[in-house]
């Protein structure tokens, strides 16, 4: 593997790339060889960090015959064009979540990758976090009997991190449902077997200055009678990381002095778009060093013979008379995503998070909005199960 690393190109060198770059840089099976980005300073930062080639356009990147796979990390609304351009050029695709905003766009991406015969992985998503996979494996093993119910909660400052204007407009994929709900849905679908049958949801858009969904609660039914309850608030007050050992979503020990920092920074900024751009990839030194796994808030899977709590370091099992901790070995944050890319490109093995999986999770997000609007449960018809 180390003698033949996957030659990866990147489209978009913003926040998402800044968060994922350390995993690729540290992984012996991946080499970052090229990138496309409109901003000259981003291109220079990539060249300096990785000695890679850079281009101003996606088309030029896709014409680079040395690039085997493309990581699409542009805004949601560009995913369709950029993923399809890569697939048509014969590149495997790692596509940021959500797969797209509109279901039609997601279907077009899946179809383009299938007809080009290239792999499509949707991620990074928190369903790649090692403790999630560890809990899913334990459930599949049957050691605790069947899973009956899952509870997922996450409270963050998502809505007050700097945003591009479209990130505050639901119809363009803004708000917490598309950017955050899709993580929670991915995790819960993995733990509950994947085949969601209906969703009943309420959403909250409580800040008139940022008039998109900042919160939701959803009850999801799954095949086999399993059900899951999902709650999310991005309003930056109650902080559920305190229930995860004080570890933040990116796997870092959280400084309690930073409480309220997102709101303060936003309040002090003249230009929110510029503040957002300042969080783009600038160098490897800027990227956060994690010492725990990433996580998406406290999640508990209730099984017939015990409950599983997912932590930033592994899982805790609560049996009838005994409580047990099982650690998940940590390498770097997002190492599992790099593993999945290498396995898909070199080994031909698909991870769970394929295009069809991402499409199914996106369908649940739309169903949450639909149910909140109609006041009734919304049915689902694009769901796929977790392969045994
Ligand atoms: N998995 C995660 O942890 C995570 C975190 C943040 C964002 N995301 C996802 O990543 C995507 C991007 O979000 P972001 O927060 O990084 O946004 P961002 O604005 O920080 O980055 C997007 C980048 O795309 C670039 N870009 C725009 N048009 C382009 C084009 N035609 N060709 C090449 N580059 C172009 C911009 O210059 C910018 O640097 C979204 O889909 C979001 O959901 C994922």
195: its two tokens: 């085949």
| Stretch 312-333: mean pLDDT | 97
pLDDT value of residue 348: 84
* Non-local CB neighbours of 13 within 8 Å, separated by 6+ positions: 35, 37, 39, 42, 43, 45, 46, 73, 280, 281
Helix (H) or strand (E) holding 176: helix 176-176
> The domain spanning residue 99 has which CATH number?
3.40.50.720
Residues 59 and 73 occupy one common structural domain:
yes
Q: Is pLDDT of 287 > 80?
A: no
Q: Is residue 181 part of a domain?
A: yes
State the burial class of residue 78 (Cβ atoms within 10 Å of its Cβ: 0-12, 13-18, 19+). Answer: middle
8 Å CB contact between 83 and 359: no
Residue having the nearest C-alpha atom to atom 40 of ligand 1: 75
Q: What is the CATH number of the domain that holds 276?
A: 3.30.360.10
**Residues near ligand 1 (Cβ within 6 A):** 11-16, 19, 36-39, 42, 58, 73-76, 78, 96-97, 124, 164, 179, 276, 280
Q: Among residues 382, 329, 357, which one has the least CA distance to residue 133?
A: 329
Is the peptide bond preceding residue 136 cis, with omega within 30 degrees of 0?
Answer: no
Dihedral sign from CA coordinates of 104, 132, 219, 192: positive
Residue 110 is predicted with a pLDDT of: 98
Tell me, yes or no, whether 27 and 164 share the same domain: no
Do 107 and 147 lie in one domain? The reply is no
Are 118 and 10 in the same domain?
A: yes
**What average pLDDT is seen over the chain?**
96
Residues 326 and 203 occupy one common structural domain: yes
Q: Which of 176, 185, 163 is nearest to 358 (CA)?
A: 185
Measured in Å, residue 285 CA sits from the centre of ligand 1 at 19
Residue 231 domain-assigned? yes
Give the ligand 1 atom nearest the CA of 39.
37
Q: How many domains does the chain have?
A: 2
Confidence label for 2 from pLDDT (cuts 50, 70 and 90): low
Residues 339-370 pLDDT 10s: 999 999 999 898 999 999 999 999 999 999 99
Atom of ligand 1 nearest to the CA of 164: 19
Residues 300 and 178 in one domain: yes
Q: Could you tell me if 239 and 96 lie in one domain?
A: no
Q: Do residues 339 and 331 touch, judged by C-beta distance below 8 A?
A: no
CA of 230 to the centre of ligand 1 (A): 26
The per-residue pLDDT for 289 is 86
Q: Quote the ligand 1 centre to 277 CA distance (angstroms).
A: 10
Does residue 166 sit in the same domain as residue 59? no
Q: What is the spatial distance between Cα 59 and Cα 344, in angstroms, rounded to a whole number?
A: 23
Q: What angle do CA 27, 325, 287 make, to 5 degrees?
A: 30
Separation CA 58–CA 308 (nearest Å): 43
pLDDT score recorded for residue 28: 97
245 alpha carbon – ligand 1 mean position (Å) = 29
pLDDT band with cut points at 50, 70 and 90 for residue 232 = very high
The answer to whether residues 33 and 44 belong to one domain is yes
Q: Tell which atom from ligand 1 comes closest to the C-alpha of 179.
A: 43
Contact between residue 340 and residue 353 where contact means Cβ atoms under 8 Å apart: yes
pLDDT for 351: 94
Q: Whose CA is nearest to atom 4 of ligand 1?
A: 16
Residue 317 lies in a domain: yes
Task: Answer yes or no: is pLDDT of 182 > 90.
Answer: yes
Distances (CA, A) of 359 to 20, 187, 304, 362: 22, 14, 30, 5
Domain membership flag for residue 384: no
Q: How many CA atoms lie within 13 A of 232 on its CB side?
A: 29
The yes-or-no verdict on residue 270 having pLDDT over 70 is: yes
Asked whether the predicted pLDDT for residue 1 surpasses 60, the reply is: no
Closest residue to atom 15 of ligand 1, CA basis? 15
Beta strand pairing call for 378-379 and 323-327? unpaired
Given this model, what pLDDT does residue 3 score? 78
Which of ligand 1's atoms lies nearest the C-alpha of 124?
1
pLDDT tens, residue by residue, 72-125? 999 999 999 999 999 999 999 999 999 999 999 999 999 999 999 999 999 999
Ligand 1, atom 3: nearest CA belongs to which residue?
A: 16
- Whose alpha carbon is nearest atom 6 of ligand 1? 16
* Closest atom of ligand 1 relative to the 294 alpha carbon: 3
Is the pLDDT score of 48 beyond 80? yes
Residue 67 covered by a domain: yes
Mean pLDDT of 277-288: 84
Residue 386 lies in a domain: no
The verdict on 37 and 157 lying in the same domain is no
CA 71–ligand 1 middle distance (angstroms) = 11
Q: List alpha helices for 103-206, DSSP H.
A: 103-116, 130-141, 176, 182-192
Using the mean position of ligand 1's atoms as its centre, give its distance from the Cα of residue 67 in Å.
Answer: 20
Mutate to test the pocket of ligand 1, among 14, 64, 99, 101 (most ligand atoms within 8 A of CB): 14
Residues 138, 248, single domain; the answer is: yes
Residues contacting residue 3 through CB under 8 Å, at least 6 positions apart: none
Domain, as residue range, for 80: 6-126+333-353
The dihedral sign for the CA sequence 235, 237, 241, 246: positive
Task: Give the sign of the dihedral formed by CA 106, CA 132, CA 178, CA 376.
Answer: positive
213 found inside a domain: yes
Within this chain, do residues 258 and 174 fall inside the same structural domain, yes or no? yes
Q: How confident is the model over 247-274, as a mean pLDDT?
A: 95
If you take atom 36 of ligand 1, which residue's CA is the nearest one?
12
- Whether 385 is covered by a domain: the verdict is no
């Amino acid at each position: 593997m180390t003698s033949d690393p996957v030659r990866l190109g990147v489209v978009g060198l913003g926040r998402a790339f800044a968060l994922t770059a350390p995993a690729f840089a540290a992984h012996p099976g991946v080499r970052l060889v090229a990138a496309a980005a409109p901003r000259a300073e981003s291109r220079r930062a990539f060249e300096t960090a990785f000695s890679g080639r850079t281009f101003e356009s996606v088309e030029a990147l896709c014409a680079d015959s040395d690039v085997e796979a493309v990581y699409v990390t542009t805004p949601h609304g560009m995913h369709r064009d950029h993923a399809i351009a890569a697939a048509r050029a014969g590149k495997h695709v790692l596509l940021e979540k959500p797969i797209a905003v509109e279901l039609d766009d997601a279907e077009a991406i899946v179809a383009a990758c299938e007809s080009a015969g290239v792999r499509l992985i949707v991620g990074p998503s928190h369903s790649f976090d090692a403790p999630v996979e560890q809990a899913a494996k334990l459930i599949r093993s049957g050691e605790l009997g069947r899973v009956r119910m899952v509870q997922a909660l996450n409270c963050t400052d998502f809505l007050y991190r700097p945003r591009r204007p479209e990130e505050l407009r639901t119809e363009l994929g803004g708000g917490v449902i598309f950017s955050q709900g899709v993580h929670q849905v991915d995790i819960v679908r993995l733990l509950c077997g994947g085949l969601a049958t209906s969703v009943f949801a309420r959403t909250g858009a409580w800040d008139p200055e940022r008039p998109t969904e900042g919160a939701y609660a959803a009850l999801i039914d799954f095949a086999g009678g399993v059900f899951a309850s999902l709650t999310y608030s991005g309003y930056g007050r109650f902080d559920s990381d305190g229930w995860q050992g004080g570890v933040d979503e990116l796997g870092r020990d959280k400084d309690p002095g930073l409480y309220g920092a997102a709101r303060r920074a936003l309040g002090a900024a003249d230009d929110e778009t510029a503040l957002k751009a300042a969080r783009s990839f600038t160098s490897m030194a800027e990227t956060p060093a994690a010492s725990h796994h990433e996580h998406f808030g406290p999640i508990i899977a209730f099984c017939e013979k015990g409950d599983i709590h997912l932590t930033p370091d592994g899982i805790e099992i609560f049996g009838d008379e005994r409580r047990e901790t099982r650690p998940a070995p940590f390498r770097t944050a997002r190492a599992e995503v790099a593993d999945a890319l290498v396995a898909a490109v070199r080994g031909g093995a698909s991870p769970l998070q394929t295009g069809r999986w991402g499409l199914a999770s996106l369908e649940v997000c739309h169903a949450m909005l639909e149910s909140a609007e109609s006041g009734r449960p919304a049915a689902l018809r694009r769901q796929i199960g977790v392969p045994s």
